[in-house]
Structure 1
Amino acid sequence: MDVSLWFAFAAGVLSFFSPCVFPLLPAYVSHLTGGSGLRDNKAAAGRGILLSRSAGFIIGFSAIFIIMGASASVVGQFFSDYRKLIEQLAGILIVVFGLQMAGLLKIRLLMTEKRVMTDKPSMNLTGSIFLGMAFASGWSPCVGLALSSILLLASSTDTLNHGILLLSVYSLGLAIPFVIISFVLSHSLAIMKKINRQLNKLAYINGGIMILLGILVFSGQMQVISAWLSSYSLFSL
């Protein structure tokens, strides 16, 4: 059991439920469904269209994230002789990102935002894929910090495949709640309003997870814990 994969998945889920992404979901759903928008307090598009367009959106952002993960791993491999230093620097930066997420730091540079949202609604699967790629390329204070933390983790991994796996799991953590909430929107917006009221609490959770991840990476305990859990799992079988 690799602890880093659990961190990557949790970061993906909590990135989705961030103040930078979650409130914008109705706008993204509207773009994905060709500008159908909302009607009677719910998404106007049919479930079939919603599913296919959501799949395209997920493919788009996953492709970009995985490419980022592969690139980070390649850079890390290039500086393999300095792996210990890279891990320590990555750990420090991840802790700083976690403190920023939790609102305990207010570094203006980390609060800059770039959103990419095309004015033209998606009319087919290909358009949905490009919208997903645009979403992944648009950095925001919330997603950017969580994603950067996982990319830093990928840069300190031993193999290229593991870096790709980390960002694949991060994408999965982002994709699962996206599909679920998108379908919820086809029924009602009520649950979104309830979740919106809890976003500040989730920011603390997200920040806490990143701080813990940074400490484990800095101290070199990530692999130790993963090895221990793997041994325990094998023993229990």
Structure 2
Amino acid sequence: MGETFAEIARGGPLLLALSLAALAGLVSFLSPCILPLAPGYLSYVTGLAGSDLDAADGDTVRRNGRVLAGTLLFVAGFTLVFTLTAILMASVGRYLFVYQRPVEIGVGLLIVLFGLAFLGLVPGMQREIRVRRLPEAGLIGAPVFGAVFALSWTPCVGPTLGAVMGMATISGQTDRALALAVAYCLGLGLPFVVFGLAFRRLLGVFTVIRRNSRWVTRVGGVMLILVGVALVTGAWSSFIIWFQATIGSGEMGI
């Protein structure tokens, strides 16, 4: 029962950690900073106008091929930046291993701050910081645009990404940090791909989600705060022990 959250992050069930990271990415996509802009992102990375994305006729195969290529290149761009950042944070975590508990508490407090920011309760963190020089729209510029997206700060991506990077720092393991970053990117990136390929069919669904986006931010903010509190207090250890005993973690650790 004395197992700390840092030990859980370092050697606990990988499936649970990956699920949380992917969920954080999905929450970011469904947030009011990203979802309403999804059609614009799609047009930019594919070079297709909104009317072309929404067209029911024409060369569907060619259009879908362009959408698939553009969205995958865009996702690859921000995945590269996020994974390199996670690897760097894991390296920092290894050097700070002797200060394990203070680092754990510090990261937990930071994640609580991110959760409050996600709820809109930290005004200074509601500003957007974006790189203004953008590449040319289309497939060639799509991966560069993805990297630009990753290097920018939006109040709906920064906090969730910060939580995942905090988990990467605590783990101190390059392979685990890499897996967490990739899971986050899949949670954030796959909806872009699916939305692009099924634009007409999913437009109504995403419209409904956009109308209720406040609930997405509320749930996401509460989730981040709970993770942060668990880091500070170590209260998650009992749950992890139950999880390991019930489901087993022998095949889920790195």
How is 1:96-135 mapped onto 2 (pairs within 5 angstroms)? 96-103=113-120, 105=121, 107-116=122-131, 118=134, 120-122=136-138, 124=139, 126-135=140-149
Question: Which runs of 4 or more aligned residues in structure 1 lie more than 4 Å from their structure 2 counterparts after TM superposition?
Answer: 221-224
Task: Compare 148-157 and 107-116 and name the one that shifted more.
Answer: 107-116
Question: Normalized against structure 1, the TM-score is what?
Answer: 0.88
Matched pairs, number: 231
Cα 1:54–1:225 change in 2 (3 A) is same
Structure 2 match to 1:29: 42
Q: CA RMSD in A?
A: 2.4
> Which has the higher mean CA deviation after the structures are superposed, 46-55 or 183-192?
183-192
Instruction: Give the % identical residues.
Output: 30
Letter in 1 for 2:169: S
2:54 to 32, 42, 47: 42
Assess, with a 3 A threshold, how the Cα gap between structure 1 residues 9 and 40 changes in structure 2: closer, same or farther.
Answer: closer
Contact residue 195 and residue 202 of structure 2 kept, 8 A: no
Contact 1:11–1:206 (8 Å) recurs in 2 = yes
Kept in 1: contact 2:135–2:145 (CA 8 A): no
Distance 1:154 1:133 in 2: 20
Offset, 1:41 = 8.0
Superposed CA deviations along residues 166-207 of structure 1, whole A, max 9, x for unmatched, are 111111111221212222325563333222101111110110
Question: Which of 6, 25, 31 is the aligned partner of 1:18?
Answer: 31
Gaps of 5+ in 1: none
Question: Among 212, 217, 227, which residue is 2:231 paired with?
Answer: 217
- 1:173 matched to 2:149? The reply is no
CA–CA distance in structure 2, aligned partners of residues 224 and 101 of structure 1: 27
Distance 1:132 1:158 in 2: 26
Q: Do residues 234 (structure 1) and 251 (structure 2) align?
A: no
How far does residue 22 in structure 1 lie from its aligned partner after superposition?
Answer: 1.0
- Equivalent residue for 2:154? 140
- Contact 1:74/1:160 (CA < 8 Å) preserved in 2? yes
Match of 2:73 in 1: 56
Cα distance, 1:109 vs structure 2? 2.4
State the match for 2:197 in structure 1. Answer: 183
Shift of 1:83: 1.2
Q: 1:164 to 1:188 in 2, by over 3 A?
A: closer
